């Protein structure tokens, strides 16, 4: 029985009972409990099932390293899987369910895998993937899918909000234990801007639990004084429940602050993600206790010795009336002492070391606790909970000496520094053979932008154990980091007089255990990796620790091997007959513990997922029922459905109305770049394939831009404004990219050319008045001569139209009589409305991007991104007419001369009309005879644009085909998604008004 | 997440303010160049472990392109300088040589 003790529990408030549910059962805990301590206080020892064998799993740890007690938390919009019960603060109304069990936690069908254990060895997945192939798909995968998998993905949208915070500091201290507090005091006293972040809800770390005294007083007193002092300093920021997730290049740090995890629905953001630039990072992250590898070390009730101690001291919860302590070091004796002092039984301390003479063992012995040295645990009795242990000699093979009945086993294999933050950015480690851990190598730290060390590890994270060693280490570390030593190190520490017996690294217990025992020694509890699996991997030739990790899944569970890694690689090293440092560690990667996606996303969700660009007429479009489509960050009306129309019907109406009378388009998103200066013409001649320097003032010219590879990158109409000014229209999505492209060449290649560029896309609204009645409408508005003579096709003019200052371009992307009119953006909506008012008598209608696309395709005009995909040159699109033959150079000219781009058999642009009048599917290929080496059908072209043409009342398409225009008249076959064929005739790509008579009137 | 000092603004700019432009000090080869020259110009990028010169643009700042000397392995930044430079400034080259004695020099 695990239960609540009648007294004790420094973190709980017994006056505040809190009800919660676990697997639907109503249970009671106290304010200050973690979910784990509350479960234990209700004798809920069994809390989950393991990943592969569905073995019963109990709480092992008391902190972030917990591999077993991971829960589905909450429900609905607050459902979240894979939450560690040990770091979840209890609150009234908390609901949790265990994971990975079916049909129930108590009776799990998947435990059958346990009996199949010998068929599921390390590397099982890889072996079955390989052979036999059919078995995977039909036998193994369906079974594994059913029984495997931990938490489920939430089904509902996250009901909480999250936020990001940005901060800068000189010194960021990760960890609010004695080491972190002292480091923060030191740096703060030196005048540094300090952030001190602690992942739990309390300051002080382990010291208060372990009865440490500083300055002759309990460590709690010192901790409270330190926090009080730091809290008064304006240069110090303190944050609890704030886990430093990762250290990145040049001192960038991410930290995840749990604000409302324990107060859901109180209106605050659930998490706050801190994005911090730190000058120096102090890793005061402490250490994690290692389990011992003995048979049955995964039975619920086997816990880390430190955790057993934590539950008694912090929460007044005992793991069992009788606890056997098994250890290879002195520290675990604290647990035995704490248990005895709490009135609980410790039948035996099983110590693998041959003799033990330290002060802590002496105290344990004085309390009457039996200490068995040179002994080990041969096996643990019990399945869903511990009922006893069998003892054996550590040096033997496991012959049982005696049985001891108990409800809990407290194990300690020593402590490993938490080196994650040191290692994230490349800090190297050294192996301490005596203590059996990897510690930061101060001579090979992670370095920052200035080449200096950017992380300092202090205290237990640096391998300094015991309060004296910790405080000395902080002082030394902070001095090295150049962050002052202005604070007196507390002088008198109780531990100074401690005598200890050295730890003796124990990787297998007993050392001569045979395969039967080793197949029951768990390394990774969550992923079910055992000593025997790692040894098998070594026998099968896995020598790299990184390969072994992936092959066996050791350390790949949600705890990322916090408990298992050191033990696992010690086993691997032994199996390979290599030294542990030669085998090395796997890479430590952020985050230290999982960070919710919600926290990473922050406010970037829903309407503000990304910036939205709106034209000045956007609201009008919304009010007139526009159906929008994204174009870059813009939203553009796709069409304006009326009545009961569907989108296709609306597009047909908009095209017919524009070609028949008058259409009005919001063209404001069109890119508008001003290029100005004495060398502007010369610059544009390099940028465009055609010649822009000779363009007369007042005229417009269509131009193509290529990259240095020669591939078509953007197109648009260029207008010559005055002697040294051009206005370049780009595609809607391309304005920023092309502006950056211009600046790149101006700043980095032709920096002596006098040219100035400005992106004025958003400074102007642009309205296209399109259709045979366009001129009549403008004449009705009045104010400018818009006649053919005054404003011929491909020219522009400034003037005043209906009181609006305008610039009118006579350009057409539809093939109709067309005026594109720009006004200052602030007048855009008013002008747009004026156009619609004036257009009433002509039946003017707004049209959207789809009608625009259909009309341009009917005219055979290309669209960047449809006809081009980064592999198409202008020559492929029959646009050689827009490429100057005279110019010595332009961007892309040399690229286009490459052999594969001048080949005669390149696919070239042509038009297509299906024989049956239907529309060619998007993405269809033109089939050729035979198959290629992979057995795939050969192709000779592909569709690039395909629409139903309201004007021709049939399907039309543009596409690239072998032979291009030479193929006119041929009938080719497009493939369809369903495997069929669609026959189409190759035709001229200009389907409508080939001579351009309609636009040039 | 690098920090680079913009030589125009003088600010220590976060990587989120910058856009990368890959290798610096490339010589452009246009019409008339051989296939080999053009291929080298377009595609043959250095990929050193160690000292490297790169183009960066302070895209969400002053908009200026600049060049940076950086160690690709340790991410140490030796310095930044204007894009309008045919070669890294001598003072910067001296600093790199002092920090990386085995550096073969700017080629």
Residues of A in contact with B29 (CB under 8 A): 894
Question: Number of CB pairs < 8 Å for A and B?
Answer: 70
Contact A447 B64 (CB under 8 A): no
Q: What is the pLDDT of residues A360-415, one digit of tens each?
A: 999 999 999 999 999 999 999 999 999 999 999 999 999 999 999 999 999 999 99
pLDDT computed for residue A111 by the predictor: 59
Phi, psi of A363 (to 5 degrees): -65, -40
Q: Please, what is the angle between helix A680-687 and helix A735-748, to 10°?
A: 120
Q: How far is A194 from A169, CA to CA, in rounded Å?
A: 6
Residue of B nearest to A168 (CA): B14
* Torsion, Cα of A431, A437, A439, A444 (10° steps): 30
Q: Which of A449, A708, A895 has the CB atom closest to B75's CB atom?
A: A449
Q: How far is A297 from A523, CA to CA, in rounded Å?
A: 9
Please report, in angstroms and rounded to a whole number, the separation of the first and last CA atoms in chain B. 28
Phi, psi of A474 (to 5 degrees): -65, -45
pLDDT computed for residue A396 by the predictor: 95
Residue of B nearest to A250 (CA): B2
The CA angle A644-A650-A655, to the nearest 5 degrees, is: 155
Q: How far is A315 from A492, CA to CA, in rounded Å?
A: 29
Domains of chain B: 3-27+35-99 (3.30.2270.10)
What does DSSP assign to residue A150? S
- Which of A451, A758, A898 would best serve as a mutation to test chain B binding (most B beta carbons within 10 A)? A451
CA distance B77 to chain A (A): 5
A751 reaches B (C-beta below 8 A): yes
Residues of B in contact with A748 (CB under 8 A): 21, 55, 65, 83-84
- Which of A447, A449, A740, A893 would best serve as a mutation to test chain B binding (most B beta carbons within 10 A)? A449
pLDDT computed for residue A161 by the predictor: 95
Identify whether the C-beta of residue A779 lies closer than 8 Å to the C-beta of residue A786.
yes
pLDDT computed for residue A510 by the predictor: 96
Contact B84 A249 (CB under 8 A): no
Q: Which of B4, B19, B38 has the CB atom closest to A894's CB atom?
A: B38
Domains of chain A: 1-158 (3.10.20.440), 162-288+416-497 (3.50.50.60), 291-413 (3.50.50.60), 511-583 (1.10.10.1100), 618-669+763-856 (3.30.1360.120), 671-762 (3.30.70.1400), 904-987 (2.40.30.110)
Q: Residue A95: helix, strand or coil by DSSP?
A: strand
pLDDT computed for residue A484 by the predictor: 55
Is the alpha carbon torsion for A950, A955, A958, A963 positive or negative?
A: negative
At which residue do the structure tokens 């607050």 appear?
A: A78
Element holding B43 (H helix, E strand): helix B35-43
Q: Which of B2, B63, B74 has the CB atom closest to A451's CB atom?
A: B74
Residues of B in contact with A449 (CB under 8 A): 2-4, 75-77
Residue of A nearest to B43 (CA): A709
CA distance A897 to chain B (A): 8
Global pTM value: 0.90
Q: How far is A54 from A68, CA to CA, in rounded Å?
A: 11
Q: How far is B36 from B33, CA to CA, in rounded Å?
A: 8
* Torsion, Cα of A658, A662, A666, A670 (10° steps): 70
Q: Residue A806: helix, strand or coil by DSSP?
A: strand
Q: How far is A696 from A683, CA to CA, in rounded Å?
A: 16
Strands (E), A787-892: 796-801, 804-809, 818-824, 845-846
Identify whether the C-beta of residue A233 lies closer than 8 Å to the C-beta of residue A170.
no
pLDDT computed for residue A559 by the predictor: 85
Q: Which residues of B touch A (CB under 8 A)?
A: 1-4, 14, 19, 21, 28-33, 35, 38, 42, 55, 57, 59, 63-65, 71, 74-77, 83-84, 99
Residues of B in contact with A170 (CB under 8 A): none
Residues of B in contact with A897 (CB under 8 A): 31
A271-300 residues touching B, CB cutoff 8 A: 277
Q: Residue A938: helix, strand or coil by DSSP?
A: strand
How many other CB atoms sit within 10 Å of the CB of residue A8?
A: 18
Q: Report the complex ipTM.
A: 0.97
With b for 16 or more beta-carbon neighbours within 10 A and e for fewer, the A67-80 pattern comes to bbbbbbbbeeebbb
pLDDT computed for residue A674 by the predictor: 98
With b for 16 or more beta-carbon neighbours within 10 A and e for fewer, the A286-305 pattern comes to bbbbbbbbbbbbbbbbbbbb
Residues of A in contact with B42 (CB under 8 A): 708-709, 895
Residue segments in chain A with a per-residue pLDDT below the cut of 70: 101-104, 107-150, 482-498
Contact A895 B55 (CB under 8 A): no
Q: Residue A37: helix, strand or coil by DSSP?
A: helix
CA distance B83 to chain A (A): 6
Residue A68 has which token pair?
């077993």
How many other CB atoms sit within 10 Å of the CB of residue A231?
A: 9
What does DSSP assign to residue A81? E
pLDDT computed for residue A555 by the predictor: 87
Strands (E), A724-775: 725-730, 756-759, 764-770
Contact A740 B59 (CB under 8 A): yes
Residues of A in contact with B19 (CB under 8 A): 740
């Amino acid at each position: 029985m695990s239960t609540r003790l009648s007294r004790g529990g420094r973190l709980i408030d017994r006056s505040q009972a809190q009800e919660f549910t676990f697997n639907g059962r109503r249970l009671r805990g106290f304010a200050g409990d973690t979910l784990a301590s509350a479960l234990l206080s209700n004798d809920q020892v069994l809390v989950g099932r393991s990943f592969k064998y569905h073995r019963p799993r109990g709480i092992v740890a008391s902190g972030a390293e917990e591999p077993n007690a991971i829960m589905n938390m909450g429900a609905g919009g607050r459902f979240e899987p894979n939450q560690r019960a040990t770091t979840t603060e209890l609150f009234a109304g908390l609901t949790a369910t265990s994971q990975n069990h079916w049909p129930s936690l108590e009776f799990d069908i998947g435990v059958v895998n346990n009996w199949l254990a010998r068929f599921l060895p390390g590397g099982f997945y890889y072996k079955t993937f390989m052979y036999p192939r059919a078995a995977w798909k039909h036998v193994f995968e369906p079974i594994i899918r059913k029984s495997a998998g931990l938490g489920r993905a939430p089904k509902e949208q996250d009901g909480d909000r999250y936020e990001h915070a940005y901060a800068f500091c000189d010194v960021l201290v990760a960890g609010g234990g004695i080491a972190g507090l002292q480091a923060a005091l030191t740096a703060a006293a030196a005048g540094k801007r300090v952030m001190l972040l602690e992942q739990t809800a309390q300051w002080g770390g382990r010291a208060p639990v372990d009865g440490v005294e500083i300055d002759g007083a309990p460590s709690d007193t010192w901790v409270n004084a330190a926090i009080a002092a730091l809290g008064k300093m304006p240069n110090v920021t303190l944050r609890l429940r704030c886990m430093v997730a990762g250290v990145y290049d040049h001192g960038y740090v991410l930290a995840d602050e749990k604000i409302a995890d324990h107060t859901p629905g109180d209106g605050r953001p659930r998490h706050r993600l801190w994005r911090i630039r730190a000058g120096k990072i102090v890793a005061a992250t402490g250490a994690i206790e290692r389990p011992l590898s003995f048979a049955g070390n995964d039975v619920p009730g086997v816990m880390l010795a430190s955790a057993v101690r934590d539950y008694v001291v912090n929460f007044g919860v005992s793991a069992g009336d009788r606890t056997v302590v098994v250890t290879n070091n002195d520290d675990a004796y604290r647990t035995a002492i704490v248990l005895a002092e709490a009135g609980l039984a410790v039948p035996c301390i099983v110590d693998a070391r041959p003799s033990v003479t330290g002060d802590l063992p002496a105290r344990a012995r004085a309390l009457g606790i039996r200490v068995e040295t040179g002994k080990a645990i041969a096996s643990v009795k019990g399945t869903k909970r511990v009922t006893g242990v069998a003892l054996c000699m550590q040096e033997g093979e496991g012959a049982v000496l005696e049985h001891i009945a108990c409800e809990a086993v407290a194990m300690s294999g020593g402590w490993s520094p938490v080196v994650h933050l040191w290692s994230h950015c490349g800090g190297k480690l050294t192996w301490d053979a005596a203590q059996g851990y990897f510690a930061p190598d101060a001579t090979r730290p992670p370095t920052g932008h200035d080449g200096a060390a950017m992380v300092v590890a202090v205290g237990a994270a640096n391998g300094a154990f015991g309060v004296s060693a910790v405080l000395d280490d902080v002082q030394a570390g902070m001095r090295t980091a150049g962050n002052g030593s202005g604070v007196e190190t507390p002088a008198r520490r109780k531990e100074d007089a401690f005598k200890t017996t050295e730890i003796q690294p124990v990787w297998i217990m007993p050392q001569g255990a045979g395969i039967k025992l080793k197949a029951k020694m768990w390394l990774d509890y969550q992923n079910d990796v055992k000593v025997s699996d790692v040894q098998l991997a070594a026998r099968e030739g896995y020598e790299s620790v990184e390969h072994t990790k992936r092959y066996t899944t050791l350390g790949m569970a949600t705890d990322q091997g916090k408990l298992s890694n050191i033990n696992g690689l010690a086993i691997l090293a032994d199996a390979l007959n290599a030294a542990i440092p030669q085998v090395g560690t796997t890479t430590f990667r952020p985050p230290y513990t999982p960070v919710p996606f919600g926290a990473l996303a922050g406010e970037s969700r829903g309407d503000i997922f990304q910036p939205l660009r709106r034209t000045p007429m956007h609201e009008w479009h919304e009010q007139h029922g526009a159906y929008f489509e994204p174009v870059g960050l813009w939203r553009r009306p796709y069409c304006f459905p009326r009545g009961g129309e569907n989108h296709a019907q609306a597009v047909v109406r908009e095209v017919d109305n524009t070609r028949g009378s008058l259409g009005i388009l919001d063209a404001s998103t069109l890119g508008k770049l001003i290029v100005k200066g004495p060398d502007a013409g010369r610059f544009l001649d390099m940028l465009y394939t055609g010649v822009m320097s000779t363009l007369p003032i007042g005229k417009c010219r269509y131009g193509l831009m290529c990259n240095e590879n020669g591939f078509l990158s953007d197109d648009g109409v260029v207008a010559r404004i005055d002697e040294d000014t051009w206005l370049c229209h780009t595609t809607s999505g391309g304005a920023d990219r092309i502006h950056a492209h211009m600046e790149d060449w101006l700043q980095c290649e032709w920096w002596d050319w006098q040219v100035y560029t400005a992106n004025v896309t958003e400074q102007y609204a642009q309205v296209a008045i399109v259709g045979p009645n366009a001129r009549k409408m403008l004449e009705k508005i009045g104010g400018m001569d818009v006649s053919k003579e005054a404003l011929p096709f491909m020219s522009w003019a400034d003037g005043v139209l209906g009181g609006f200052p305008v610039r009118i371009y006579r350009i057409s992307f539809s093939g109709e009589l067309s005026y594109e009119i720009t006004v200052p953006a602030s007048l855009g909506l008013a002008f747009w409305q004026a156009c619609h008012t004036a257009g009433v008598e002509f039946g003017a209608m707004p049209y959207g991007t789809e009608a625009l696309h259909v009309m341009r395709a009917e005219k055979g005009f290309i669209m960047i991104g449809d006809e081009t995909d980064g592999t198409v040159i202008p020559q492929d699109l029959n646009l050689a007419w827009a490429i100057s033959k005279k110019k010595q150079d332009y961007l892309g000219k040399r690229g286009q001369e490459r052999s594969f781009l001048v080949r005669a058999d390149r696919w070239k642009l042509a038009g297509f009309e299906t024989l049956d009048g239907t529309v060619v599917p998007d993405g269809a290929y033109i089939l050729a005879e035979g198959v290629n080496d992979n057995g795939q059908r050969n192709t000779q072209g592909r569709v690039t644009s395909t629409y139903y043409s309201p004007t021709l009342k049939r399907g039309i398409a543009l596409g690239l085909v072998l032979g291009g225009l030479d193929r006119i008249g041929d009938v080719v076959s497009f493939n369809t998604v369903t495997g069929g064929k669609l026959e189409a005739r190759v035709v001229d790509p200009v389907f409508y008004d080939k001579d351009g008579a309609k636009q040039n009137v | 997440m690098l920090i680079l000092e913009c030589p125009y603004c003088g600010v220590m700019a976060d990587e989120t303010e910058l856009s990368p432009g890959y290798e610096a000090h490339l010589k452009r080869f246009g019409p008339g160049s051989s296939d080999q020259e053009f291929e080298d110009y377009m595609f043959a990028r250095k990929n050193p472990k160690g000292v490297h010169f790169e183009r960066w643009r302070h895209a969400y700042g002053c908009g200026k392109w600049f060049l940076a000397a950086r160690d690709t392995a340790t991410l140490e930044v030796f310095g930044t300088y204007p894009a309008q430079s045919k070669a890294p400034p001598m003072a910067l080259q001296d600093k790199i040589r002092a920090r990386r004695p085995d550096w073969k020099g700017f080629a």
